[in-house]
């Protein structure tokens, strides 16, 4: 358990570093967009602000989770991350709706651009590079410690690299006085934000309702258990997500004539096998039942 807490602290550190980079990126784009009258860059600043919220949610959740279990919370505070993501999802969706309205207004309205937008272009390039660096960092850390929120944030950061390049194209198209460019890209960013917000809300709700989000892991666990000597069948494997960790409950069958000591030893063997092969699993509960004697006869 100690190593898992250390992993949570590592993930928390990465999440807060990513939060700082997202804040810096949003601040630069917001200021440059305002000073140089670039609505599409301001919209992208809101996009980076939404990323900042998701990073803060991950960091907050991992910080709460790293406090471990207490007498009042015997199962830990891991779902704090999920609750934070649910709230953040709602905020991001609201930002997306507002941006959509602004994009629709800009669709037919083109602001005059007299000079080449050096600073907006530089801000977009900086944003793309920052997003790529953060994505690589979060992806590596998330896979290392089994944090789904960090892995999800990394995927969004890779998408942000593309978004920043699209914004760069929009700035250049606006400079060339091509109609519909700015409005279309602002609408595109608003749709991406709505998608991000709805996905956060939906996944958070599924986790809170104990949905099975990893059928492949379920099948893999069942296969490995059936390979253990003494197991005569697997009657159920249930998996539920709790923050960065998963909880597993299994019902296995063995010979009715087996002693209590041997049944307990078999349960320990199954539990150790699951925990050894899947680091993201925080706890395993094994229930042993007698197999049907008739089914065991040759």
On whether both 197 and 231 belong to a single domain, the answer is no
Quick one: tokens of 173?
Answer: 């198209």
DSSP code per residue over the chain: -HHHHHHHHHHHHHHHHHHHHHHHHHHHHHHHHHHTT-HHHHHHHHHHHHHHHHHHHHHHHHHHHTT---SS-TT-STTHHHHHHHHHHHHHHHHHHHHHHHHHHHTS------S--HHHHHHHHHHHHHHHHHHHHHHHHHHHHT-HHHHHHHHHHHHHHHHHHHHHHHHHHHHTT-TTHHHHHHHHHHHHHHHHHHHHHHHHHHHHTT----HHHHHHHHHHHHTSTT--EEEEEEEEEETTEEEEEEEEEE-TTS-HHHHHHHHHHHHHHHHHH-TTEEEEEEEEEEPPHHHH--
Residue 269: give its domain's CATH number. 3.30.70.1350
Q: Which domain holds residue 252?
A: 215-296
Classify the C-alpha dihedral 200-187-181-126 as positive or negative: negative
Residue 162: give its domain's CATH number. 1.20.1510.10
pLDDT at position 114: 66
Q: pTM for this structure?
A: 0.68
On whether both 254 and 149 belong to a single domain, the answer is no
On whether both 126 and 100 belong to a single domain, the answer is yes
pLDDT at position 298: 44
- Residue 214, Cα to own-chain centre: how many angstroms? 14
On whether both 197 and 220 belong to a single domain, the answer is no
Which of 185, 208, 231 is where one domain is finished? 208
On whether both 103 and 140 belong to a single domain, the answer is yes
Which of 184, 208, 232 is where one domain is finished? 208
Q: What is the total count of domains within the chain? A: 2
| Lateral strand order in the sheet of 281-290 | 233-242, 245-254, 281-290
Length of the chain: 298
d(CA 184, CA 186) in angstroms, rounded, equals 6
Which of 149, 183, 208 is where one domain is finished? 208
Residue 48 makes CB contacts below 8 A (sequence gap 6+) with 22, 25, 26, 29, 127, 160
Low-confidence ranges of the chain (pLDDT < 70): 1-12, 58, 61-62, 65-68, 108-114, 145-150, 152, 244, 293-298
């Amino acid at each position: 358990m100690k190593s898992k807490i250390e992993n949570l602290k590592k993930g928390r550190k990465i999440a807060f570093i990513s939060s700082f980079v997202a804040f810096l990126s949003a601040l630069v784009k917001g200021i440059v967009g305002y000073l140089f009258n670039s609505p599409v860059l301001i919209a992208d600043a809101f996009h980076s602000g939404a990323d900042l919220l998701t990073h803060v949610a991950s960091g907050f959740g991992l910080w709460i989770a790293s406090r471990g279990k207490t007498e009042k919370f015997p199962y830990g505070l891991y779902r704090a991350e999920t609750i934070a993501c649910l709230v953040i999802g709602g905020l991001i969706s609201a930002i997306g709706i507002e941006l959509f309205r602004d994009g629709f207004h800009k669709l037919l309205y083109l602001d005059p651009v007299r000079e080449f937008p050096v600073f907006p272009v530089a801000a977009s390039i900086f944003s793309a590079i920052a997003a790529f660096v953060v994505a690589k960092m979060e992806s590596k850390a998330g896979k290392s410690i089994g944090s789904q929120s960090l892995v999800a944030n990394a995927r969004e950061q890779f998408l942000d690299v593309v978004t920043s390049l699209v914004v760069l194209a929009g700035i250049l198209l606006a400079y060339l006085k091509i109609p519909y460019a700015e409005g279309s890209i602002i609408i595109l960013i608003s749709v991406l934000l709505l998608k991000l917000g709805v996905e956060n809300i939906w996944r958070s709700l599924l986790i809170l309702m104990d949905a099975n989000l990893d059928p492949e892991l379920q099948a893999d666990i069942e296969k490995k258990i059936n390979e253990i000597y003494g197991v005569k069948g697997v009657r159920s494997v249930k998996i539920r997500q709790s923050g960065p960790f998963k909880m597993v409950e299994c019902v296995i069958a063995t010979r009715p004539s087996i002693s209590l000591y041997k049944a307990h030893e078999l349960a320990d063997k199954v539990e150790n096998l699951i925990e050894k092969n899947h680091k993201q699993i925080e706890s395993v509960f094994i229930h042993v039942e007698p197999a049907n004697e008739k089914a065991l006869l040759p």
